Every structure is written in C-alpha cells, then in structure tokens.
Structure 1
Amino acid sequence: MGPGSAPGRPISLICSPCRVRRRDWANLSDGPMGIIAERVLAYDIADFLRFRAVCRPWRRISMDPRAHGGLDRRFHPRRWVLLRERLATPNRRRFLNSSTGECIHVDIPELREHEVLALTPEGLLVLLHNQYHVRLLNPLTSQLMQLPPITMLLPSEDHHRLSDRYNFGTNFAAWGSGIADDDSTVVLCFYRLRMLGVAKPGDDRWTLLKFPDPLRTVPLMFSGRFYCVNLNGVMVLRMSPPRLEVAAKLHIQVSREGYSAHLVDNGGELMLVHRRRWHRWSYDVYRVDLATGDLVAVNSLGRERALFMGMYCSLSVPIEIFPSGSMSGDTIYLSFDAGERDDFEAYHLTDRSITPHDGYNLRESVMLPHTIVDCLALCITVGYEEHTIGYGEDLDDF
C-alpha cells in the first residue's frame, strides 16, 4: 500500500477537515506537517488515522501503518477497549477510549470467520479461525498476523475441547495474552487450561510452558511482561528459555476455595487485589513493588479511579471521563462472571461497604445493559455467548 493509498480501517466519528483555508493546510511543507503527524501518532493511533484521512498530501508525509510490522507498538490502539454489544451489523464493533471516554464504531470484516479469544493490552484482538488458526488483528489498521496453529499448543488428547461449543468461550479465554517487551514475541495464555504459548509471527509451533500448580489468579501482561500468581508468589515470565520466576513474595492466602488474586494495571501501576470470602466478601489491595519484590498494602486505587474486575481480566478507568455520578472512585465494580455479582455490584474501598442490586435482574442486565457500569462490567465478562448481548445505549453521548 503506497503513500497515497487509503488511510486504513474506516472509523466513524472521523473529524472533518477544516473548511477555512483548506488549501493552505494541505500545502504546508513536509517539515511542519511531518512533526504534527508524529505527535498525533504518539498520542493515539485513531487520531493518526483521522489525520491521514484528511487529504492525499497528509497521507504522503505520514507513515503508512501497513508498511510497518504488525507488532510495531506505535500503531497499536492501546487505549481502546472492545465493548461487547451488537450494533448495526454483525461485523461492526464499538470501542471505548479508556483515557478520554470517546467511543468509535469500527467495521471489522474479519469477525465473519473468526472467534474473538481476547483483547490484548496493546488493543490487538486474539482471533481463532476454523478452530485451528491463531491470528492477531489490529482492529484499527486491519493488520493481521499469523501465529502457529492452536493444535501445536494443545496436546492431542485435548483437541476435542476445540469442538466443545458450550465451554469454548471459557476454556479458550486468552486474557493475559499480549506482546512481550522484545516487541517480536507473542505470549498466548490459556488460564483455564493452565498453559502459556510463546511464539513469533511466522513460527511453525508454540513453545509451551505449563503452570506448575492450579492458579486462583487473573494473569496480566504489564509493560511487556507476563505476570501471574501461584503459591510461590507473584511470578513473571522470563524468556530464553521461557520460565516463571518470582517477582514479588506472597504473604496472602490464595490456595483456598473462595480466595483469588487479581493482577491489575491501575493506570500504569501494577496492583494485586486479594478477593476472599470469610462470612462475607472482602477485597484487599496491594501495590506490587517490583524493585523490592514485596506486596505493599494500600487502601486506595486513587480516588479518581474505578476498577472493573472480572474472573479473567480487569479494567481500571479514570471516573472523570464519564458523566458525573455514573460511578464512584476507589470502587471495585464486579463483572457478570463473578459469583458475588448475584448479591451486589460494587465494593467501596474507603469504608468497605457494598452497593446492593436493589431488585436487580442479573440476566436482564447482561442482555440489555442500561448503565455505564453494566456496559463496562460486561466488556470484561467471559462466558456469556455473543447472541445474548443486547444493545447498550448509554455510551452514545460521550
């Protein structure tokens, strides 16, 4: 695709070019416009694609994402979160910018023939084609990367799981997957199957690493490294050869039923939420100090942040980007796959109180989310089939 070609995936809500002195803008020299293009790209890939869509001269002086490798982090939609809802067509999806609250609609024709296994921290989609081919898709630039077949990762006795449509979405939930910090390696995590695969695009097979013991943890790719929790502590994946090493000591209970550890990226800070049930549910928050290898107890996420926490993934957002009163800071909101969501929807860290449902119908909220909290809780929920998800209207006004 050449410098004068189309800018990439069409995105709705594209800003219109300035009608005043439009010719002067188009005829600015390459130097100033090149600097503007670089700064726009450094901020957000969606704005960069809008920039390239304005006119041919602007496309000519800016980099074409498709001329670069699909693992080039400059072109990753890292702030964009895929919302789970049906829109006008089966292949159209809505993405939320977790830093600004902006929503965009994106047509993704690849969804016709692929299952979505997860969204990576870089904003890439982990896809499966024909229950066999693993692919990584940039939903905004349409770059599609081929990875080794999933059958090269699973032992032959587990191949029957691929045809288990009832449990497919949970068995092959790939949250915790992402791009390693060498910018060339993909880490594929199947939490329920207790295995990791490591490969580069174009490789024939995965390098397999199994978890040594059952995990009660939500794994996480953070700053290009894979983290999980087992009985030895907070573990980090090291390469060459792939192995798990202790990154922080553990002084909490995670081996009992009703206990789990949730690693979260809280606005660029690695944290651990200890979920436990003893008479009632409670949640303790720790900062993972990677320099000292310790867990440091804290009593706040930051008053201006809320955490949406699920059994497979999590999402931390600044509350000021949403309408006033729609959610509270220092609050953990639960996804629909958390067992306690049957009893309450939120846990407030400041006073350890809960927000009950107040006549809540859980299934109706999944099928037809009416609030911002419901929509964000649904986007981190694993286990509900796509056809049960209704039309959320509450994010349209951002």
Structure 2
Amino acid sequence: MARKAAALAPATAARKRKGGWASLPSDLTLLVAWRVLGADVVDYIAFRGACSGWRACTPSPRDPTLRNYWLRPRRWVALCGGDAVRPDDAGEITFLHTRTARCLRGRRLHRRLLVLLHKRDTTVRVLHPFTRAAVDLPPPVYHEVVRNRNSLLDMRAAVCAASATSIAVVVWFPWTPGVLCAVPFRHGWEVIHKEMKLGNTLPFQGRLYGFVRFSRQVVQVYPPNPPAGPLVAHVPDEFGNPFMWHCQYYLVEYGTHMLLVVRHGNVKREGTEPWQRSAFAMFRVDISDRWRLLPVTNLGDQALFLREDRCLSVSAKDLPSISSNSVYFSAPPPDNVIWHSLNDKSFERPTMFCKVHNLKERIRPSVRPFTIADHLLTYCSHREW
C-alpha cells in the first residue's frame, strides 16, 4: 500500500497543478473578469494582487492608452484634506467610492482619470490613480489662446473619446474665450472653439457638453462640428435670467441619463437669506429623441451636489448621512453648504463655514469632523483645493 501511495503522489500533485483558474475555459475566465470589472477596477486589481492563479490567466488592468472605460476608476472622488494643504504638498490623496463609501489613500500622488498640470513646464499628464498608467501631452501655455500664464490656475479639463483606441483631452478657461483639444501622439493643441466661453460642463458617454456662459444654450463641445450643429438643448425662457447671479444652470450625470438642473429665484418664497428664495427645476435630457427636455419632479433615493466646476449624483442608500430626493449647493460664506429638500421645499444649513486660509497662509486649523456633504461639495469646486 505504501508503494502504491507513493506512486500516486506525483499524479495527485499534477492534478493540483492543473487545477485552479488556469483549468477553466477562457470564455468562463473572461466572464468572471467582466463581473469583477463591472463593480470597479479596484476590485479587479485587488483580486489579481491576492491570487497568483487569477493574475496568471487574466490581462493586466494597466491600459497604456487609458481608453478602455471598464479599466477606468468609476464613482471615485478625491477628498480635500481640509487644512489648505494641496495634494502635491501633502504627498498623498484620499479617494472615496460614492457607491460603497470605501476609502483608498494614494501616496506620492500629485492630485478618477486625473488631468495634471506641471507647475514649472506646464506639461499635461492624464493619470490613472490606481494603475499609474499615464499619457503625456505638450504644454498648452505656449498656445496663442492662453495669453496669460496665470489663467492656467483656472483651467478646466475633461477626458473624452477621440477614437476606439485613443483619448482626447479638452481644456478651457472660464473667463477666457477658447477651447483647446489635444490627442496623444498628435502634434500640439488644436483650437476647436475660438470664441466659446463655457460655464458648467459634463463629460458624458465619451463626449463633452456644456452651457455657453451667460446664455441658456447647451452645446456639444467635443467632438466639434456635429452634423446637426453644436446646439443640443435650450433652457426654457421662464426659468430665470442667465445674467443674474441667482440663476445658475447645471448638467449632471444621473444614472445613465443626463440631467439639466436650473436654480432660479422664486419671488413667492420668503426668507432672510438669498438662497432661501431659490427654486429648482429639473429635466432629463432625452438624447435619443431630438434632445427633448422631460420634467423631473422626484429624484427617488438620489441627491445632487451642484457647483459650477462639476456636479455629482449619489444614492442616499449608499451614503446614509446624505438625504434622498434633495439638492446640496453652495452659497457665499458663511453659508457654504446648503441642503434643499425636494419633498417639502425646505432649506437647511447642515454645516457652518470656517475660514482656514487667507489666500496667503493657513490662519487656523480646520473644524472636524467633516461631513460627507462637505467633502462631496468641495470636490465639485477645484478652487477650494
């Protein structure tokens, strides 16, 4: 029996070596990979790091072109430290997943795809914060549109789809006319809109949409020159005057839809503060039917965070401290964060403003702990970084 057991031992070891992930049909392995990626690329990376068998039979998540949507960070937002310390000075940055409330801290990270601007030579880098894959682009500062180097401090940027295998980086400057675009491995930056001034914008399904500043027009910014023209939607005239400070327009990615939100004045409302006399109108933009605006009166379990830089839609089921069917927006200090319930039309200040920096130096420590609402609304305004 001992001799027989010894003879069977190598065969048993061989069967073990042939088992595991490598023994599965490739299409089944691919199906599992897609299921893991469907949640988030970080789960895919962690699975590869923890399981050598899985790592050996699945492709790397490091996409050098950054074009694959499924390999990008999704639903991750960067959190400001709150003490007026910029991420490149702190040497690290914390990311929050708005679906799971999971936090990850990246070290030696200057700043979802991230568009970085080098302080000295103004070169542009698009960086994946979790795989460290990067695409470099030439500096836009020497372009004729960027006449003032200081305007780079206000530069906005979005990553769009240039083709099936390449990204495009679109940049603009809120108070300077002109929109620039660069594609990796092509020469320099191209002016795609010379006289356009943009307000709130939204990267959506590989394209970039935005409001023309001081107008009711929603335009397709990238790709430029669409066959039907750049104008895709128009805010109804009855909702405020775009030249008034209390009238603001926003675009939000709402699930698989684009949501147009109007904040406007309401003379019928009473209140001692200007924001107490605000009202909101919301429309789902039907991109499949001539860009019709379909009124929305209830957000369900969702909450919107609205700032001019960018906007967010998150689920109160995933983040219990956030109120459902509500809007969070900003007002001038000391009323920095305002919460508005769409159920009873009430307003509330969930937090109080505390100035920690006078634009030259830190003058006092921050008041902690910060709320999730603080963090998400700060993320929507890059100037607060």
Q: Same fold (TM over 0.5)?
A: yes
Question: Does the CA contact (< 8 Å) of 1:146 and 1:202 recur in 2?
Answer: no
* Local SS of the residue matching 1:219: strand
Matched residue, 1:220 = 202
Task: Answer yes or no: is 1:36 the counterpart of 2:32.
Answer: yes
Q: Once the two structures are superposed, what CA deviation does each residue of 1:45-65 show, in whole Å capped at 9, x if it has no partner?
A: 101101110133321111113
Cα RMSD, aligned residues only: 3.0
1:178-193 → structure 2 map (5 Å cutoff): 178-180=159-161, 182-183=163-164, 184-192=166-174, 193=176
Query: Please, which runs of 5 or more residues in structure 1 have no aligned partner?
Result: 1-21, 117-122, 163-167, 386-398
Measured after TM superposition, the shift of residue 286 of structure 1 is 1.5
Say whether the 8 Å CA contact 1:304–1:320 is kept in structure 2. Answer: yes
Q: State the 1:210 CA deviation.
A: 3.3
**Aligned-residue offset at 1:143:** 0.4
Output the TM-score relative to the length of structure 2. 0.77
Corresponding residue number in structure 1 for 2:341: 348
Distance 1:327-1:239 versus aligned 2 partners, 3 A rule: closer
Choose which of 24, 36, 61 in structure 1 pairs with 2:57. 61
Greater mean deviation of Cα atoms: 259-268 or 237-246: 237-246
Measured at CA, do residues 29 and 344 of structure 1 come closer, stay the same or move farther in structure 2, by a change above 3 Å?
closer
Q: Which runs of 5+ in 2 are unaligned?
A: 1-15, 268-276, 357-364
Larger Rg: 2
Residue in 2 aligned with 1:233?
A: 217
For normalisation by structure 1, the TM-score amounts to: 0.74
Classify the secondary structure of the residue corresponding to 2:256. coil
1-structure distance, mates of 2:366, 2:254: 25
- 1: CA distance between counterparts of 2:305 and 2:29? 39
- Give SS of 2:374's match: helix
Percent identity reads 26
Asked if the contact 1:198/1:206 (under 8 Å) is kept, the reply is yes
Q: Distance in 1 between matches of 2:319 and 2:150?
A: 44
Cα distance in 2, alignment partners of residues 172 and 240 from structure 1:
19
Match of 1:315 in 2: 312
1:332 partnered with 2:327: yes
Partner SS state of residue 77, structure 1: coil
The one of 132, 150, 160 aligned to 1:142 = 132
Counterpart residue number, 2:98: 98
Counterpart of 1:18 in structure 2 is: none
Structure 2 matches for 1:243-392, cutoff 5 A?
245-252=230-237, 253-258=240-245, 259-277=247-265, 279=267, 280-290=277-287, 291-300=289-298, 302-323=299-320, 326-335=321-330, 338-339=331-332, 342=335, 345-356=338-349, 360-363=352-355, 368-385=368-385
Shift of 1:138: 0.4
Q: Return the offset for 1:75.
A: 1.1
CA distance 1:260–1:366, shift in 2 (3 Å):
farther
CA distance in 2, matches of 1:340, 1:257: 19
Q: Taking CA–CA contacts closer than 8 Å with sequence separation of 6 or more, which of the two structures ends up with the larger relative contact order?
A: 1
CA distance in structure 1 between the aligned counterparts of 2:21 and 2:341, rounded to whole angstroms: 54
Contact 2:62–2:133 (CA under 8 A) maintained in structure 1: yes
After alignment, is 302-311 or 92-101 more displaced? 92-101
Q: Deviations over 1:203-244 (max 9, x none)?
A: 2211113364555x3111111111112336221135365796
Q: Give the Å deviation of 1:25.
A: 7.7
